[in-house]
Structure 1
Amino acid sequence: MTFQSKYPDDLPDKPGVYIMKDVEDRVIYVGKAKNLKKRVKSYFKDDLESPKTRAQMRQFHHLEYMVTDTEKEALILESNLIKKHMPRYNVRLKDGKRYPYIKISNEDYPRVFITRRVTDDGSYYYGPFTDSGALKQMVKYLKSLFKIRDCKRMDGPCLNSQIDICNAPCDGRISKEEYRENIDKVTMFFEGKYREIVDKLKDEMAEAARNHEYEKAAVLRDQLNSIDNMLERQKMEITGDLDQDVVALSSDENITCVVVFSIREGKIIGKDDFLMNGAEDTPQSKVLSAFLKQYYSGPRHVPKEIIIQDEVDDARLIMEWLSEKRENKVTLKVPKRGRNHRMVQMVAKNADIIRQHHERVEGALVELKNYLKIPQLPRRIEGFDISNISGKMPVGSMVVFEDGKPKKSAYRKYKVETKGPDDYNMMREVLTRRYQKLVDPGENGGDVPDLILVDGGKGQLNVALEVLNSLKLDMPVIGLAKEFEEIFMPDLPSPIILPRDSESLKLLQRVRDEAHRFAVTYHKKLRSKEQDRSILDDISGVGAKRKMKLLRHFGSIDNILKASASELAEVEGINKKLADTIHNYLEKRG
């Protein structure tokens, strides 16, 4: 139960979690305490040392608190609430589009899906994750296993219900309570409570058998076997002599980067890197502690040893919690010499390199914002180009850069229907097709860009402005002309020229060149397909297999053209009637 208060004296002398809010009831900080009254009282001193804490208390209006039985329970609850609310003054894994999360929606019949946008909408979020491929497989597995709905509108039974991977709550085939039980099992999985899921399924299966509900018992048995098989595979994968994660960070006044090396059976099998928000003016021990609590709170393998570069706050509690998750002892170690110390130094060096890269990117984004006088950092840039030869087979491309990096999953290619040569109208078509999706109801237009870049000068820029104005969209847009690297902007009579060695210009050039490369590659692919076509493709009854057999038999199109009907009929799969059809067609075309 959650209680509300404005004053620390109202709080009990018990362990728990406190949630600080501002005047608009937004969560600004979540903390845990062994003694709620003493911990919260410490915020109300006149001589607060940390500038960050002083800024936090200037925003403070009231707080809520939850009492727990133990400090370890408070630690777990604190971690979950930080992930859910992403409070401004907590040290937290970066709240950006960089990492995917699993979302369990706040609906009567919740959905389970992957998102990169964490909002305070009452839903539950698990993550972040770095391996999006593995994440998609896991979500697909769980949704089919527990038959969780996939549709947004619940407007009638769909294909998923017909192939028995959805319980069709839209058709009343499952009660809200039964559906919630399945969601609870999915939630337990994401919280790493695998044994609890197994025990729960066994109890439900036994009860169904006692009640002679044999069909239900069979479904539960299949779910149990599926999870047991998966857990068995995981056990096989994590056996070995060395089961470690090595964690180190690098930080300056602006950016904190944490890197994790995963070591299994004595081999480095993976590397994850994360940016942390809210780490300014925060000791390294607190940043590492916050990271460990958030990183291991999801469905992630907990290794036997976690090697870290510095002592952390709540070390004892973290080890107890992780040991419980692993169902075996977990230790945190801070090595001072030897192999593990060298590993920590290597991971820290990787963190340094990644942080420095992010600093350059961040600097380029800040430069661009200032040079272009746009309202926010251009974290998402969408770049466009057109490719054609004298108007033939025109194509368009859209590339996306997020935080200075290409996001290839968001790239789009377009077969242009506009007749050419008319580059302006081709660009108009591509931009309209892309941004119409942002305004059409029911369309998923994806994320809104912070900056649009078109390859070209004033003419291409004007086309882009016409499209955005017609759709009543207000987004920053520029044209980048290649010859002199001039930047054309709306309402400016003369182009802007950025310093040749500036990181901001280099970033724009990368976006422009990538859009060009993507368009040209697609155009070449279409041309190649067209060139692979032959006269045989236009003959009824001659498909890809028969075409291949003819070419293998005769060696070339020229030899096929010279062949008689009887010679054509000698080819496997070509009967006399089809041979006559082929011969007559080729003779007419000859």
Structure 2
Amino acid sequence: MSTKVKSPEDLPKKPGIYIMKDFKDSVIYIGKSKSLRNRVKSYFKDKYDTPKTKILMSHFNSLEYIITDSEKEALILEANLIKKHKPKYNIRLKDDKRYPYVKITDEEFPRLIITRNIGKTDSYFGPFADVGSVRQTVKFLKSLFKIRTCRKMDGPCLNCQIDLCYGPCAGNISEKEYKKLINKIDLFFQGKYTEISENLEKEMKNASDEFNFEKAAVLRDQIASIAEVMEKQFVDFADELDQDIIAMSFDGDSAIVVVFSIRNGKINGKDDFLMSGAKNNKSNEVISAFIQQYYSINRHVPKEIILEEKIKDEEEKKLLIEWLTDLRGGEVELTVPLEGSKLRLIRMVMKNAEIIEKQKKKMKNAMIELKKYLKLPKLPRIIEGYDVSNISGKLAVGSKVSFLDSKPNKKQYTRFKLETPGPNDYEMMRELLNRGLKQLIECSDKDKNEKTKKCEEPNLIVIDGGKGQLGIATEVLKKYNLEHIPIIGLAKEFEEIFIPQSQTPIIIPKENEGLHLLQRVRDESHRFAVTYHRKLRSKAIEGSELDEVVGVGKTRKINILKHFGDIENVKKASLDEISNVKGLNKKVAKEIYDKFH
């Protein structure tokens, strides 16, 4: 529990953290010190040491503190509180991507699960940047070691019956033997492939010596699979290394930090992070804050962390090393290479950071260009795109996609089966927008107060079409009192941009980043709609009464459903109408007609 103070003189000369608040009682800065009184007194001077301190103190109103037993405890508490309060003037790791972890459940016969939430029990590996790769890995391990996937152990499941699980629920494997499989999975996620292979080879030899050739064959296949993973998934280095390489692109305002992870001599991960609140700080201070916040969650701490520049505060460096060593349970080095392979590695990571920084600036420039050309009141950080897809009005669907800071925000994508009879593109667009804006309209006051992402208004809406579709869209916005949201129609043929209450389209130069962003939104909404339409059409084709008609194969079935839209229209059609379908002769047309009459 924190204690309020009126003056720095009231603070104890003990280690702890101090919490600065503004006039609205919001936390604006959190710091740590081995002597709270001495550290906080440094803020109350006639002249400030840095511009950052001057700005901070212009908003300062009150102070609280928490005493800790050691400076190391203060470091841990500081990282946790920064993560919780997100103070404006702290350097903060913006790790809001909610990376997936792999969880080994704490059960008698454990399961392997992908999760984004860390609990107090169970074992976790991660976080992982690429959820697709994680899914493939988990699928591979489940099939390789045949561990259970069912939630309830209430009898042999299908996996057990088709030999994809050893079947602990049927008593086919002991708890001891099952735990051996789990231990191998544990070694796999630690990158100890050689150790797994050696253990498997010993088991294979024992099985062979005992004439259990069936078990030996299974183990042989497992060894081959592990060897394949070792060859394909990772980039090798000469030495068996356990390192993180951390580099940054920092322009004095914002910072992109890139981390390459090397485990057991292989590069097995690369990720990038945005550090906010970095303005008016030195680059080595940003890296120090990153290390503190990055390793404060459940991550593997390597033997060596390679940096591009030294942490100049020796006490800070010593404290970080002590803390990291405790987390690892073994010695940790912070090194800055001057030559050799480590220097080449850090330069490679620095190059990656610079490229990401350039891409980030490019994305921001695209939003700035759009704001300028479209005369938008705000930077279009949230852009929504709408599109309709159908064939002659049949199986009509609509899509809503969302972009955040120039990148697809797939959590906010939505697709709809449209009920408007067609073909009628204008009314389908009306239905789509009515339904697409429904989430926004129906947000409760509580949701709006909490500013949940579901309730955030877009800064710009993009519809695929020209004046006609735009006219319908503006009517829907007006109906819901949302005319303040900017909306445009993007016509594909000449890439003309139509805006409400203007007969003349806006033409943005072809090479302009703003136009490229609009095109990406339009193309993505089209792709999302078409993919859904194809899925529905495929379902209609796969399970059709036409399958029972002699002479109707897949190609003819597709042509019939394209022509009529759905099976109900085929049933109502005359013999002449059926005969007009591409690829049908009179005999097959008669067979179809007779089937439904």
Per the alignment, residue 500 of structure 1 pairs with 510
Shift in Å, 1:253? 3.6
The whole-number CA distance in structure 2 between the counterparts of 1:227 and 1:87 is 45
Say if 1:452 and 1:477, in contact at 8 Å, map to a contact too.
yes
Q: Partner letter of residue 48 of structure 1?
A: Y
Question: Equivalent residue of 1:446, what SS?
Answer: helix
Q: Partner letter of residue 458 of structure 1?
A: K
RMSD: 3.8
Superposition pairs of residues 323-342 of structure 1, within 5 angstroms: 323-342=325-344
Deviations 1:106-164 (A, max 9, x none): xxxxxxx969xxxxxxxxxxx99745579999xxxxxxxxxxxxxxxxxxxxxxxx979
Per the alignment, residue 206 of structure 1 pairs with none
The whole-number CA distance in structure 1 between the counterparts of 2:342 and 2:330 is 21
Per the alignment, residue 237 of structure 1 pairs with 189
Q: Percent identity?
A: 52
Superposition pairs of residues 463-542 of structure 1, within 5 angstroms: 463-473=472-482, 474-492=484-502, 494-532=504-542, 534-537=544-547
Give the aligned length.
449
The whole-number CA distance in structure 2 between the counterparts of 1:426 and 1:5 is 63
Question: Equivalent residue of 1:74, what SS?
Answer: helix
Shift in Å, 1:520? 2.9
Per the alignment, residue 411 of structure 1 pairs with 413
Per the alignment, residue 51 of structure 1 pairs with 51
Deviations 1:462-500 (A, max 9, x none): 322322333344533222222332322334454333233
Question: Equivalent residue of 2:351, what SS?
Answer: helix
Per the alignment, residue 446 of structure 1 pairs with 454
The whole-number CA distance in structure 2 between the counterparts of 1:13 and 1:231 is 48
Task: Tell me: CA distance 1:101–1:452, structure 2 relative to 1, closer, same or farther (3 Å).
Answer: farther
Question: Equivalent residue of 2:348, what SS?
Answer: helix
Shift in Å, 1:425? 1.0
Q: Partner letter of residue 289 of structure 2?
A: A
Which deviates further from its counterpart, 461-470 or 267-276?
Answer: 461-470
Per the alignment, residue 78 of structure 1 pairs with 78
Task: Tell me: CA distance 1:226–1:347, structure 2 relative to 1, closer, same or farther (3 Å).
Answer: farther
Deviations 1:90-109 (A, max 9, x none): 111137x655699xxxxxxx
Instruction: Normalising by structure 1, report the TM-score.
Output: 0.68
The whole-number CA distance in structure 2 between the counterparts of 1:235 and 1:319 is 26
Say if 2:100 and 2:129, in contact at 8 Å, map to a contact too.
no
Per the alignment, residue 35 of structure 2 pairs with 35
Shift in Å, 1:63? 1.2
Say if 1:398 and 1:515, in contact at 8 Å, map to a contact too.
yes
Per the alignment, residue 18 of structure 1 pairs with 18
Shift in Å, 1:393? 2.5
Shift in Å, 1:270? 0.9
Superposition pairs of residues 134-533 of structure 1, within 5 angstroms: 233-238=185-190, 241-312=240-311, 313=313, 314-440=316-442, 446=454, 448=456, 449-473=458-482, 474-492=484-502, 494-532=504-542
Say if 1:29 and 1:90, in contact at 8 Å, map to a contact too.
yes
Instruction: Normalising by structure 2, report the TM-score.
Output: 0.67
The whole-number CA distance in structure 2 between the counterparts of 1:22 and 1:226 is 56
Question: Equivalent residue of 2:296, what SS?
Answer: coil
Question: Equivalent residue of 2:256, what SS?
Answer: strand
Say if 1:255 and 1:359, in contact at 8 Å, map to a contact too.
no
The whole-number CA distance in structure 1 between the counterparts of 2:67 and 2:44 is 20
The whole-number CA distance in structure 2 between the counterparts of 1:378 and 1:227 is 53
The whole-number CA distance in structure 1 between the counterparts of 2:426 and 2:72 is 63
Question: Equivalent residue of 1:358, what SS?
Answer: helix
The whole-number CA distance in structure 2 between the counterparts of 1:346 and 1:454 is 41
Deviations 1:232-284 (A, max 9, x none): 74455325532111100011144310000011121111111011101112111
Say if 1:437 and 1:445, in contact at 8 Å, map to a contact too.
no
Say if 1:257 and 1:355, in contact at 8 Å, map to a contact too.
yes
The whole-number CA distance in structure 1 between the counterparts of 2:61 and 2:514 is 41
Question: Equivalent residue of 1:475, what SS?
Answer: coil
The whole-number CA distance in structure 2 between the counterparts of 1:499 and 1:367 is 11
The whole-number CA distance in structure 2 between the counterparts of 1:517 and 1:317 is 52
Q: Partner letter of residue 238 of structure 1?
A: Q
Per the alignment, residue 578 of structure 2 pairs with none
The whole-number CA distance in structure 1 between the counterparts of 2:274 and 2:260 is 15
Question: Equivalent residue of 2:87, what SS?
Answer: coil
In the alignment, structure 2 segments of 5+ residues that lack a partner are 102-114, 118-125, 137-150, 154-174, 193-239, 555-590
Deviations 1:72-101 (A, max 9, x none): 011001100110011111111137x65569
